[in-house]
Structure formats: C-alpha cells, structure tokens
Amino acid sequence: MTITTDVRHAVVAKGLAKIYGQGDAAVHALRGVDVSFATGAFTAIMGPSGSGKSTLMHCLAGLDTVTEGSVAIGDVEITRLSDKQLTLLRRERVGFVFQAFNLLPTLTAEQNIRLPLEIAGRQADQVLFDRVIDTVGLRDRLSHKPSELSGGQQQRVAVARALISKPNVIFADEPTGNLDSRSGAEVLAFLRRSVRELGQTIVMVTHDPGAASYADRVVFLRDGLLVTELTDPTPQSVLDTLLKLEA
Amino acid sequence: MLRTTLAGLRAHKLRLLLTSLAIALGVGFIAGTFVLTDTIEVGFRQKFTADAAKIDVAVRPADDPAISAEVLAKIRKVPGVVEAQGMLSGPAPLLGRDGKAAGNYPTTGISVMTGQLNRLTLTGGVAPAKPDEAILDDNTAKTRQFAVGDTITVLDQKNVKHEFTLVGLFDTGVDQQLASSGAVGFTTETARLMTGAKGFDRVDVVGTEDPARLRDAVASALGAGFQVKTGDQLADELAAQSKVEIGYLTLLLLLFGLVAMFVSALVIYNTFNILVAQRTREMALLRCIGATRTQIFGSILLESAVVGVLSSGIGLLLGLGLGAGAMAVMEALDGPVPAGAAIALTPRTIVFSVLIGLLVTIGAALLPARAATRVAPVAALRSQVEEQSFKTGVVRIVFAGLFLLAGAGLTTAGITSIEGDLALIVLMGGGGVFFLGVLIISPVIMRPLAAFVGWLPRRLFGVPGKLAVDNARRNPRRAATTTVALTIGVALMTLISVITATTRATVKTQLDEQFPVDYMISDQRGSEAGVPRAVADALRQSPEIGSVMQMRVTNAPVAASDPGTDPGTGEATVGNIPSVPDFRPKAASGSFDRLEPGTVALVDYLAREWNRKVGDTIQVKTTEAGTVTLTIVATFDGRTSDQAPVSVPEKEFDRYFGPLDDTRVFVNAKDGVAPEVARRAVEAVAQPYPTALVMSSTELRGEFDDALDMMLMIFGGLLGLAILISILGIANTLSLSVHERTHESALLRALGLTRPQLRRMLSLEALLLGLIGALVGICLGTVYGWAAMQTFPFEIQFRAPVGQILSFLALSGLAGVLAALLPARRASRASIVGALASV
Ligand SMILES: Nc1ncnc2c1ncn2[C@@H]1O[C@H](COP(=O)(O)OP(=O)(O)OP(=O)(O)O)[C@@H](O)[C@H]1O
Ligand SMILES: [Mg+2]
C-alpha cells in the first residue's frame, strides 16, 4: 500500500503498528493508527501514560522503524527508506523539539539554532532568521551557551532551531514538560504564532490539557489506538475527554 | 555498598576490561622482565653448577698472568689429586674458504680437556685427540661452510698456516666472548703451540679427597700467587658475576616498565575521573539515601582494587608469556642464553607484579575517589548534569611555573655547568621535573592547542570537524590527561631518534675527519700485530691507487722531564707523522710543516697534562737510538684525530724504533676509479696476507649505522608498549565520552547528521587528541635530545630526523583514529529513540 499526502496534509499515517520485543514479552505500543496532520495546523497528541504517544511521534518522524503500516511526510513514503535517506529527509523536512537536552552544550544559542542548516550545508535565510529570533525574543542571548540559559529559554532556542530550516513538520515531545507554567505558556504561545504567522505545521505530544488547548486540534490515543479527537479545544473540553478516556 | 559497587562493575564489563588492560600491559612488562631475567639467571646457575660438579678444585693465577707447566706438574703431584688439566685460550685465526682470515676478529683457539674434565658440549663428531685434529663451534662451521671431515687451516701466532682435520663441532654455550669471536678447539698441547699462550688461564683438578681439603692441600703446595677454589665456590662466583650482568638488563627493562606503568597510572586516573563525573547523580542519590562520604570513597577504592587485582592477574599471565617468548626469541637467534632453561616464575615476581599493579591502580584512583566524596546530595535533584567547567586556577599556574622553571634550570645547569655522567643525570632529572610542569599546565594549554591543531580539520570536514574540535576542547582536563599519556611515549621516541640521528651525523663527521680515506688495512688481531710493509709497497705500484699512508705505532717511555734525564717508565703511544700531507691532522698550535729530525707533534691533552707548548721539549726512550730529546713543533686535537699522541717524522720513527710492521695502512683510490675496481685492487694486494683485513670507510659507517638502527629499533619496541597503553587510554576516554554524550549523539542524528558523519566526528576528535599528544611530545623530545647531546664533550652535529618525527606525528594521529573505531561504531549504531529515552 502506498500513500501520498495532498497539499492539505503534511504527514499521513495509515495502519501504523509498532510491536516492541517478541513472544511473551511483546508490547503492542501501536495497534493500527490512521492519522493525518493538516499543513499549517497545530495538532496535539494526548493520552494516558503508556498509550503510545511518543512511539507514534517517533514513527511519524522517521526516528524509529514501524512494524506495520506506512507514513508519508510531504510526498515521501518514509517507511521504506534506508537510514541514510531517512537522515537526509530529517535534515530537509523535519524539525524536533524534545522535552530536555535539546541543545549541544558546546555551542552557543546561535550556533545551536544554525546547526541543522550547517549539517545540511544550507545557508540560513537571514530574513527568516531575524524574524524567528525576534519572535522568540532571544536576540540578546544569542552568544550564550545553553548552560547560561534558563529552561524556558533553552526550549525557545530549540523551537527557533526547528523553525529555521523551514521543515514540512515540527515534532515536539512534551516541549513544556520541564517548564514552569509561565515559561511553558511562552513557549506554547510562540509555537502557535509560528503556525499562524509562518504557516508552520506542528505536531506536539503533551500531557497537559492547558498545553493542548493551544493547538487547533487534539487527537487522543489509548492502548495504541486512536480513539477520538477534538477541534478548537479548550482546557476544559480536553480535560473532559481525558477523564472519559480513563474511565 | 559492596554489593552496589560489584553490581556496577558487572554492568560495565567492557569498560572494566579496557581499563584493566592498560594496567595489565604495564604489569605484564614488569613481570615479563623478571621472568626473563630470572630464567636466564637460573639457567646460568644451573649450567655453572653442572660444570662445577665435574671439578673438585680450580686454580687460577692471582698475580701472574698465567699458570706455567711447572706449576701444573706441581699440582699433579699433590697427594689426593687424580687428574689436573690446564685450560688456555688465545687468538687462532681460522682461514675461510677464500684463504683470508674469517671475520673481523680472529677466532679464539681453546684447549679441549679430556675425560671427566671436558665441559664442552659436542654437537657432532668427537673431541680432538691427536695434534692434527680440531673442532669448531657450530655457528662458525655453518657460516664458513665447514663440515666434520673437512680440512681447516688455522694460523698460529707467527702467521704460519697449519692444517687440521675437523673432527667435531661444539656449542659455545653461555660464553658470550667465544660466541662472538667464534672458536676452534685443539688438544691442550696444540692449543698452546697455536696461540703461543705463555701458560694456562686455569687448572681444573679432580681428586679422591673432600674438595675443601683438597683445595687446602693444593693451595699450600703452590704458595701465594694463586687463587685456589673448590668447584662449588667457582660456580657461586661465576653465577654472582652473571647475576651482576643480568642485573643491568633487569634495570634497563624495568626503566621502560616503569614508564609504561606511569602511563597506565595516567590512564587509570583519567578513567576514574570520568567515571566519577558521570556518576555524579548516582552518587548523589546514594548520599541522599544515607551513604556517608567514607562509603562513597570506599566504593570507588574498592572498584579500583578489583580492577587492580584483575589486571595484575592478567598482567602476570601476560608477563609469563612475554618472558617465555623473549627467551624463545633469544634462543632462536642463538643469543648467549642457557638453552632449554625452564621458565622461572619466582614468588618475588608474583608478589612484586601484583603489588605494583594494585598500588598503581588504587593510587591513581585516590584523587578521583576524593572528588567523589565532594558530590553534594542535592546534585541528585538537578535535572541537567552540568558541563564540567574548567577554570585556570592561580595555584595551578604557580605550581606549573615552579616546576617548569626548576626543570628548565636543572636542564640548563646540566648542559652548561656540569661535566661528565652527572650532567646527563641532572639533565634527566631536569627533564622529569619539566615534564611534571607540562603535566600540570597541560589543561591550560589544551584549548589553544586544540584550536591550533584543529584549524585544518575545522575547515576541511564541515560540521563533524567543527563539532570534533569543540568536543576536544570542551573538557581540557580530560583531554590533557589523555594526551599527556601519549606525550610520554612520543617524547621518548623522539628523544631517542634525535640522539641517534645526531650521533650518526656527528660520528660521520668525525669519521670523515679521522678517516679521510677510502680503505684501511690492519691486522685482524688488532694493533699489536702488524701489516708487513710489503703491502704498502705493493699498493703504491698499483695503478688504481692514488695515495698510501703507513701508520706505525709503538709504546715507549715518554716524559716531559729535563733534557738528559731518564723518562722513567711512564709509557705513551709513539707513532709516525705521515709524509703525505693529506693524511695529516690539523695543527691546534704550531705547524706540521716544521717537522724535521729532532721534532715532535704532541696531542693537546698530553701537552696540557705535561704543561708543554710549542718550542718546549720532551724525552723519548727509543729502542734503537737511546733516549732522545725532541722539540715540540705542533699540537693537535686528540678528539678529532687518529694520530698517535706522540708523533715523530716517518724517517725518524724508523731510526728510533727500527723497521716495524705497519699498524695500519690507509689507502685512497685514484680519482675516477670505480669503488669496486679499487676495492678489488686493494684486496688483490692483501690476498697473500691472510690476516690483513681490508675495511672500506663505507663499510665502517655501515656497521655503525646498523648498530644505531638496531638500538633505535630495540628502544622503539620497548617504548611501543607505553605508546600502546596511551592509545588504549584514548580509546577508553573516548568510549566513556561517547557514553556520556549518548543523548547528544542522538540529537545530532535526529537533526540530520548521518552515521558516517557521526563516526567521522569521533574519529576526528581522537585524531586531534593523538596529534596534540604527539606534538607536545615531539617538542619535548627534540629539545631534550638536543640538550642530552650538549652534555657530551665534543662537537655535535645536531640533527632532528624530520621524516622520522613526522612519521611519529602521523602514526599518533592514525593510532588515535584506530582507537576511535570501536567507540565510534558503537555511537553510530545506537538507535536514536533509545538514546533519546536514556538519561
Ligand atoms: N523500547 C521499548 N521497548 C519495549 N517497550 C517499549 C519501548 N518503548 C516504549 N515501550 C512501551 O510501549 C508503550 C508505549 O510507550 P510510549 O513511550 O509511546 O508511551 P507514552 O504515551 O509516550 O507514555 P508517556 O506519557 O509516559 O510518555 C508502553 O507500554 C511502553 O512501555
Ligand atoms: Mg512519552
């Protein structure tokens, strides 16, 4: 089965299954997930702990292999790519923001931001760079090393880095998980602005109904299956859905 | 606590093994040294004891040079003596199949004792029983292609040829001198005739009585002037002598072993430092749940003790293998070692090896263990492990400065104001102290050095290059210890190669000055025997020969006393000044042009000693012209000239001492004559004189070059171990760093760094470490090589063998890259998701 995305979808997954281990120890982390993420939209993935959120994200981003099913990013079917092709694809089309340890400690903030472009051997779009830096509000921190930045600033640097290479999609796994609510809100607001103003596609895994409410749409996972979704969520509606799921 | 430590060790088996290997190699070298030297020593003792068992009493001359036949007869008459035989040896040149004396030195003729007293090990045939029978050592027989049954020709002391039937072959055993000269054995009487020995070197006695009583009986019969010993005493004495000689070998090898151990200590120190840094959180957690500082300290020490015991054990086994291997190699090369000796593993070897392995490991872990106790429990709560920051401390700078200054001071003192062996020792001390200074300052200079060495990779290799340089710079203390370990080996290698190159160049210049000729002819038996003058005369007739110079020397009483008085008995070597001007040395004062009857040229050191200058006189007691008073017309430098210290005009020499044979004949080929042609001409002239040895200057240099190359190779091999250990250190540091940066690597991979790029990044980092270590080592080695040569009391032609040194640099870089292979592979294989999850 081959699938492609149309212009309206940045990422499409069909029949995605992931099994860890074998025999008795086998864990069915994903049991056949069909999901697509609209271009220029901010989508949140939610679900109880162990429901397969991180696994889904890793499979979508080409960081991990899938057991069954297929994933397309842009017009490329990624499940059949070699490691080398996947790496090149990540360079060009995917951005990442992780929960922690996003930055290389030896590089300054600016060097960290430019790193993906340098790896790809591309020139930074200076206009975009300035715009991103100003949006993130990091101009006076550019020459600082990560250890000299606060957790929120570090995450913002990570977001800026993800934005700078204009990827088809940015995957963020609990980007605010380690932050207090105020820095968390700053980062989330920034993510939403980059969707609105820069037309960026973002897929974010989160535990926090408040964080999820920044998204345009929330998809809910349980036991490796996509169970429901919300559009234009509010913290309250997300919370209600979650409670229903866990019941 | 104990269980936690052991569980931790089990969880990291590979790391444990890698760490242990560093120490194990060092311990192995030391254990191997002991095993080898003990084996040789025990072998020698067994051989001596076995020999001595055949003798009851041995008599050796104490004051006299030899034991006469009368004394032997006297010994035979002592009651209780059953048998007594004399033993003698002396030069007895064997002629090769080409009719020329074999080898550069005359074969040694020895007497073969008969019956119970015979100690030679025959490897074929029988012992000589008749005057026209002889035996050869098997090595000489092989190289000169003689077999039992052949006829061999040997010259007696008057150069008369004698033919013998070769009836047997024997092994020279542990006798180094016989092994190198080659030996031919005769019946005692024939040996005496051939060698012209004045008497026996030793008389061996068997008797019916108890050896001690027989010894006393013989001693009282002979009176003073002889050493009389029982066989057992003789064996003890010989064993003690060989023990001293082996002691030097042990000392030399141990020196290299200690260097290796020091490097191992650095590697261990670094490893534990990194481990402690990486386990900060783990240890903080332990502190949180109630572990005391002492327990933390103890657990690190316990870990090091386990590593120490394990590596000492492996080291001991390694040493056993190394010792046995070295022994086998020496036997295979026919070295003067007791054949078939059982490999000796003494309790001392075991105790010493285990102890040093344990002490070094625990000692090296002490500082890191102390650092571990400083981890505050609160560190467990910090989310991000802090980058180890390094600030250049004032204390460090001050200490480094003190060490560097003291080292430089000692070094300068060694070069400028101290003379002789002490200078070299002071210099070595200075080098050691200076090196400690470098060790202390190295974290400070690591960043600039990495920037300097990394300049090219940074530009050449894109992102991996940049990241590699950053990584090499990020933890200067770690990088410093890792590279300094390599610095030691490379510095010593460079030192040795600078010293050999300088020696080579210096000797070449000296040879060119002292031996400005194409060929030299001398007698194989050395300066006491001569080359007949007919040789020089014939050479002058030869159309291929340009110039010929005859050098004659003799010993005569010479003194700087007042004219007319007797010069006494103080002898000096008197020689002739060549009449051909191109063979003359340069005059330091005066001039050789004024040489005429009644004048003399004096070497500078005698002139100084006697307080004589040009114009003064000295007395020489001649054999033909009585005591003559000679006026000094020139002095010359004794270090750059081969000229006899007291030199008189050629004609005068003959008048003073008669027509002596030439000691040496120097020959220059005519211009334009090909070397092979000239050589053939010289050899044709020398052919009728079997012991006239023709040497070309290229041969002489070649021999010297070979010896130097051999030395370079042996020292290189011995230092190779220290270098190998430091490479292990690089591998260890790198794999620990890779482990530490698992998350970073995963991040880079997620951002689009390919596997090869990640591998390249790590290889480049290792390359940088290797290059930095080598670079510092090369600088130190070159400077100290130069300094060491300055302590010698003659003019030096300093040479730094650039090609060789560059190859050290390249090899170090390459070794670094090789060391990175495994860690890099592991890092690039790791799954991104797995690595992201772990922390
Ligand atoms: N490497 C692995 N090996 C085996 N099982 C795994 C592995 N990674 C995840 N799992 C299992 O797969 C399931 C889904 O894990 P996943 O990490 O995707 O959950 P999650 O929704 O991200 O949870 P959380 O909210 O706690 O982060 C879990 O049951 C987990 O135990
Ligand atoms: Mg997760």
**Chain segment B684-710, per-residue pLDDT in tens:** 888 888 888 888 877 777 888 888 888
The rounded distance, in Å, linking the Cα atoms of B430 and B423 is 10
| pLDDT the model gives residue B383 | 47
B440 has a pLDDT exceeding 80:
yes
Which of A19, A24, A33, A54 for a ligand 1 pocket mutation test, highest count of atoms within 8 Å of Cβ?
A54
Region of poorest pLDDT, from A209-218, B37-46, B57-66, B580-589? B580-589
The rounded distance, in Å, linking the Cα atoms of B90 and B464 is 72
| pLDDT the model gives residue B550 | 86
B11 has a pLDDT exceeding 80:
no
The rounded distance, in Å, linking the Cα atoms of A54 and A29 is 10
Average pLDDT of chain B? 84
Cβ–Cβ gap B754/A84 under 8 Å = yes
Among candidates B463, B750, B755 on the partner chain, residue whose Cβ is nearest the Cβ of A96: B750
B82 touches A: beta carbon within 8 Å: no
Average pLDDT of chain A? 87
Q: Mean pLDDT across the stretch B14-31?
A: 83
Q: Mean pLDDT across the stretch B819-833?
A: 84
What type of residue is A235?
P
Under the banding of pLDDT at 50, 70 and 90, the label for residue B591 is: confident
A22 CB near ligand 1 (under 6 Å): no
- Among B464-478, B713-727, B733-747, B772-786, the range with the most confident prediction by mean pLDDT is B772-786
Query: Which ligand 1 atom sits nearest the alpha carbon of residue A18?
Result: 12
* B824 HSE (CA, 13 A, CB side): 23
Residue B612: helix, strand or coil by DSSP? Answer: coil
A51 CB near ligand 1 (under 6 Å): yes
B796 touches A: beta carbon within 8 Å: no
pLDDT 10s digits, B77-116: 888 888 888 888 888 888 888 888 887 788 899 998 887 7
Cβ–Cβ gap B752/A147 under 8 Å = no
The rounded distance, in Å, linking the Cα atoms of B617 and B810 is 62
The rounded distance, in Å, linking the Cα atoms of B495 and B719 is 11
| pLDDT the model gives residue B837 | 66
* Centroid of chain to Cα B604: 32
What ipTM does this complex have? 0.84
Of all residues in chain B, the percent with pLDDT exceeding 90 is: 11
Give residue B834 CA to ligand 1 midpoint distance, Å. Answer: 11
Q: How many CB pairs under 8 A join A and B?
A: 73
Q: Mean pLDDT across the stretch B125-145?
A: 89
Q: Mean pLDDT across the stretch A229-239?
A: 90
The rounded distance, in Å, linking the Cα atoms of A43 and A13 is 14
Under the banding of pLDDT at 50, 70 and 90, the label for residue B839 is: very low
State the alpha helices, DSSP H only, in B645-754.
650-657, 675-686, 697-740, 742-750
Enumerate residues 6+ apart whose C-beta is below 8 A from B684: B542
- Phi/psi for B90 (5° steps) reads 180, 170
State the alpha helices, DSSP H only, in B741-801.
742-750, 755-790
Cβ–Cβ gap B755/A118 under 8 Å = no
A205 has a pLDDT exceeding 90:
yes
Enumerate residues 6+ apart whose C-beta is below 8 A from B452: none
Conformation bin of residue B87: beta by default, left when phi > 0, alpha when psi is -120 to 50? beta
Identify any residues that bridge with B166 across adjacent strands, giving them in sequence order. Answer: B134
| pLDDT the model gives residue B774 | 93
CB < 8 Å to B470, chain A: 106-107
Contact between residue B724 and residue B814 where contact means Cβ atoms under 8 Å apart: no
| pLDDT the model gives residue B316 | 92
Query: Which ligand 1 atom sits nearest the alpha carbon of residue A21?
Result: 4
- Phi/psi for B617 (5° steps) reads -125, 160
Q: Please report which ligand is nearest the Cα atom of A52.
A: 1
Under the banding of pLDDT at 50, 70 and 90, the label for residue B317 is: very high
pLDDT 10s digits, B371-417: 888 877 766 655 444 555 667 778 888 988 999 999 999 888 888 87
pLDDT 10s digits, B255-287: 888 888 888 888 888 888 888 877 777 777 777
Q: What are the angstrom distances between the C-alpha of B598 and each of A22, B389, B601? A: 109, 83, 11
Contact between residue A67 and residue A28 where contact means Cβ atoms under 8 Å apart: no
Q: Residue written as tokens 């009391």?
A: B793
B490 has a pLDDT exceeding 50:
yes
The rounded distance, in Å, linking the Cα atoms of B760 and B504 is 41
With residue A10 as reference, give the H or E element that holds it.
strand A9-20
| pLDDT the model gives residue B669 | 85
Q: Residue written as tokens 């019916």?
A: B208
Q: Mean pLDDT across the stretch A81-100?
A: 86
More confident residue, B485 or B516: B485
pLDDT 10s digits, B199-229: 888 888 888 878 888 888 888 888 878 888 8
Q: Going by CA atoms, what residue is nearest to atom 26 of ligand 1? A: A49
| pLDDT the model gives residue B388 | 56
A49 CB near ligand 1 (under 6 Å): yes
* B104 HSE (CA, 13 A, CB side): 8
B638 has a pLDDT exceeding 50:
yes
β A225-231/A217-222 pair status: antiparallel
With residue B664 as reference, give the H or E element that holds it.
strand B664-669
The rounded distance, in Å, linking the Cα atoms of A230 and A216 is 9
Q: What are the angstrom distances between the C-alpha of A46 and each of A15, A32, A49, B599, B766? A: 19, 17, 9, 114, 44
Cβ–Cβ gap A118/B463 under 8 Å = yes
Which of A19, A51, A56 for a ligand 1 pocket mutation test, highest count of atoms within 8 Å of Cβ?
A51
**Ranges assigned E (strand) in B292-336:** none
With residue A14 as reference, give the H or E element that holds it.
strand A9-20
pTM of the predicted model over 0.95: no
B750 touches A: beta carbon within 8 Å: yes
Residue B671: helix, strand or coil by DSSP? Answer: coil
| pLDDT the model gives residue A1 | 44
B839 touches A: beta carbon within 8 Å: yes
Q: Is the dihedral of CA B765, B770, B773, B779 positive or negative?
A: negative
- Tell me the nearest-neighbour CA distance from B382 into chain A, angstroms: 12
B369 has a pLDDT exceeding 70:
yes
| pLDDT the model gives residue B809 | 92
Q: Mean pLDDT across the stretch B293-300?
A: 84
- Phi/psi for B372 (5° steps) reads -65, -35
| pLDDT the model gives residue B16 | 72
| pLDDT the model gives residue B742 | 81
Q: What is the largest CA-CA distance in chain B?
A: 105
Hey, what are B250's tokens? Answer: 């042990």
**Ranges assigned E (strand) in B390-534:** 519-523
| pLDDT the model gives residue A12 | 92
Contact between residue B154 and residue B81 where contact means Cβ atoms under 8 Å apart: no
Under the banding of pLDDT at 50, 70 and 90, the label for residue B527 is: low
Nearest chain B residue to A89, by CA:
B752
Tell which of B742, B751, B836 to mutate to test the A interface (max A CBs under 10 Å): B751
- Phi/psi for A49 (5° steps) reads -60, 135
